[in-house]
Amino acid sequence: MLIDIAQVLTREEAASARRRLEQANWPDGRTTAGHVAARAKANRQLADDDPLGRSLGEEIIQRLSRTPRFIAAALPLKVLPPRFNLYADEGSYGRHIDSAVFSTPGSPERLRSDLSATLFLSDPEDYDGGELIAEFGMVRERVKLPAGHLLLYPANSLHQVMPVTRGARYAAFFWVQSLVREQSRRAILLELDDSIQALAVRAPDDPEVVRLTGLYHNLLREWAET
């Protein structure tokens, strides 16, 4: 399941981040990939200790903590500090599945990747290609979101980034360990939360709002891992 979370950054904030990134030093992204992934990866990626990347990453983490839709969809327990990549000049990333476990830079802490996230920083009209394609069995979904939008998708899905044939595609990306490991259970909780929010707007005094809210938290209590 792909989830589009709109305006994590405003278009102006995304443009500001992009201008800062345009001045950065961009090493070959293959140096950060594993043995198999390196053969599919053809992009540029900021080093994990790049000061600009760290600063922008902290800003994004702060914004995510104030984005209710992200919280509802991801139910985050841990979020890996965002990284940044650049696709240009036919740059692409072939079909691959993300690593199951990541180490947090500068820390002994590890994170299980339940969800992958891409925060688009370039406007779609500024580049050709660069769509993210995720595969779910026989279904292939093709996505290219506005600047400032975040795409969440299961980290165990086969996916790829198509070649960028004009312009440049800047993005932040990171992984989330969720309180709820199973994607199907996260989907149930998100649908239930959406229903509660809609009902609360139409009929805030309806006792069913309280009942369903209790059901939501009891399910979360049953399924959450901390």
Residues 17 and 9 sit within 8 Å (Cβ to Cβ): yes
Residue 25 burial (CB < 10 Å; 0-12/13-18/19+)? exposed
CA distances, 71 to each of 8, 176, 223 (Å):
12, 11, 16
Is 96 marked within a binding site? yes
The number of C-alpha atoms within 13 Å of 24 and in the hemisphere containing its C-beta is: 26
- Residue ranges for the known binding site are 96, 98, 159, 169
- Residue ranges for the known binding site for Fe cation are 96, 98, 159
- Residue ranges for the known binding site for 2-oxoglutarate are 169
